[in-house]
Chain A
Amino acid sequence: MTETTDTGNDDSKRRFAGVAIAMSEVDAWFAREVLPLEAVLMQFLRHNWRNKDEIPDLLQDIYVRVYEAALKQIPEAAKSFVFQTARNLIISRVRHQQVVSIEAVADLEVLSIASEEPGPDRRVGARDELRRLQAALDKLPRRAREAFMLRQIEGLSRREIAARMGVSEKTVRWHLNEGLRVLADAFYSEPRHLKG
């Protein structure tokens, strides 16, 4: 998980100058400790934020705050830190709103206790991970799935994929982009149903 650059193409991440070395460390921490909390965090936000359309932006703001803090010093307990940040952000937003949701306040109390406890064990078996990937791939539109699998499993280049699928490279790029977004949501955002 700490390796976000094992794609074999290059090690450009390590080529970021100056501050980038520190950032890369934060990147790794963020991927390892924070991203796995996304599903729970989303659940929390959905429960406590009335306007569902605002949730993606809210999540982004939380991530930004967490990341910024980590640039100064990487928090020891990621989970309580992330939820503390979420809580603070919601409270400050709620203060600016006319209507305060009672359940939001109630839940925040619960959260402040819950986040003190040790985090869930995130080690997931390989088969489980694979099942998750399969389920996620299953959700992709057919063409995006095809492009994604030709790349990630067959290891074909973009040009080869374009030739195989009879489309332009630009279309392949577009499919891969679409595929990656759906997969990322499946990996991080969706509640961990054990069902693949």
Chain B
Amino acid sequence: MSNPVSENRASASEIHAAASDWVVERNTNDAWGADEQTELDAWLAQSIAHRVAYVRFEDAWARSRRLAALGRSSRTQAVLETLRNLRPLVFRVAAAFVYAAIMGGVIYYFLRPTSNAQTFATPLGGHETVILADGSQIELNTDTVLRISETQNERDVALEKGEAFFRVKHNPNRLFVVTAGTRRIVDIGTQFVVRNEADKLKVTLLEGSVSFDSGAQKATLTSGDVLVATAGSVSLIRKSPQRLSDELAWRQGLVVLQHTTLAAAAAEFNRYNREKIVIADPAVGELAISGTLPANNPDEFARVAQSFFRLRVGHQGGAIVISR
């Protein structure tokens, strides 16, 4: 070491404050000239610690500048615009909407109360919102088919496959019923999600309550309840508000992973994308990961898994193969 230890005695935070100020000065002082530069050079020459801190803040400055330029040129500028005017909480909500608009491609349909049964479907990776004449909303997640029929006394939605979020304008005289095969979910003033898969049905209650009836079993769900019905069983568990909102991340075009195994995460991404993720090694499938990622970007997931666990990622026949 060519430097005496004593050189580093100024605390790191003091040096950081000074270095950051120098970067701000050099980049924003309109009167910056030879004198200022000489002074900066002298400060930098005093110690390597000064120089290292300076490089760090100069890089951060340039980086934020580049990103700002990027934001301006893209649709995400809307998020930044909003941010400028609104407080953080409002910003997050607004940003979520903008993001949903970018990622999801939200499409609105209006149904006449007199209309006959109508079928709505989303392709792989799709996301659409259907608004009924009474203001009730149905959001379809990826690869979903549902049929809506409205009569005087009942609004009936048959979820043939996939997943949908329901925000129902409750009307005691006009029931809102979701059917999945032989199972019926009747709204009692509420927001809920129904996911209909080949081997199981899942109902997640966000607000209010619904009654569930599979013929053999009946249950009333209140907010926070998650019901899973398979061929032979029905289970009911309660989830925290955080976990509930994670389950709805698809409405923002996102997938939230919470200590999720790579195998389960791959299955989740495969719901949304044509390009499937294949985990080549069962042991790799057991590795767990947490994070939030765009649902429509399996490559990004593969990249994260790769860098996180130092795995190999390859492309074979239209699939992304993850292995050791």
Contact = CB atoms under 8 A, between A and B. Distances in A.
Interface of A: 1, 3-7, 9-10, 12, 15-16, 23, 27, 30-31, 35, 56-57, 59-61, 63-65, 67-68, 117-118, 120-123, 125-130, 133-134, 137-138, 142, 145-146, 148-149, 151-153, 157-159, 172-173, 176-177, 180-181, 183-184, 187-188, 193-196
Given A30-B55, A59-B12, A133-B67, A120 B294 contact: no
A130 B84 contact: no
- The residue among A3, A122, A137 with the most chain B CB atoms within 10 A of its own CB is A137
B273 to A, nearest CB: 16
Interface of B: 1-3, 8, 11-13, 15-17, 20-21, 23-30, 32, 37, 40-41, 47-49, 51-53, 55-68, 70-72, 74, 76, 79-80, 83-84, 87-88, 91-92, 95, 291-294, 297, 300, 303-304, 306-308, 310
B37 A15 contact: yes
A180 B61 contact: yes
Contacts of A149: 68, 80, 83-84
A125 B24 CA distance: 27
A51 to B, nearest CB: 13
B21 to A, nearest CB: 5
23 contacts: A15-B37, A27-B51, A27-B55, A31-B55, A31-B56, A57-B12, A60-B15, A64-B8, A125-B297, A128-B300, A134-B79, A134-B83, A146-B84, A152-B65, A157-B28, A177-B20, A177-B21, A180-B57, A180-B60, A181-B57, A184-B56, A187-B63, A188-B56
A5 B12 contact: no
Given A60-B8, A176-B24, A180-B57, A121 B65 contact: no
Given A4-B58, A153-B71, A67 B52 contact: yes
A127 B64 contact: no
A64 B80 contact: no
4 closest residue pairs by CB, A with B: A194-B291, A120-B307, A184-B60, A56-B12
A30 B52 contact: yes
Nearest to B92: A138
Given A35-B59, A138-B91, 6 more contacts: A4-B58, A5-B62, A56-B12, A159-B30, A176-B24, A188-B60
B307 A121 contact: yes
B52 A64 contact: yes
- The residue among B1, B41, B64, B308 with the most chain A CB atoms within 10 A of its own CB is B64
A187 B58 CA distance: 12
B62 A129 contact: no
Contacts of A172: 28
A85 to B, nearest CB: 11
A184 B20 contact: yes
Contact of A4 (B30, B59, B72, B294): B59
B65 A177 contact: no
A176 B56 contact: no
A86 to B, nearest CB: 14
Contact of A6 (B16, B62, B68, B80): B62
Contacts of A134: 79-80, 83, 95
Contacts of B23: 180
Nearest to B66: A6
Given A127-B294, A158-B30, A180-B23, A64 B49 contact: yes
Contacts of B303: 121, 123
Given A9-B26, A137-B83, A63 B66 contact: no
B265 to A, nearest CB: 12
Contact of B11 (A35, A56, A193): A56
Nearest to B289: A194
A89 to B, nearest CB: 11
- The residue among A9, A64, A145, A148 with the most chain B CB atoms within 10 A of its own CB is A64
Contacts of A30: 52, 55
Nearest to A125: B300
B287 to A, nearest CB: 15
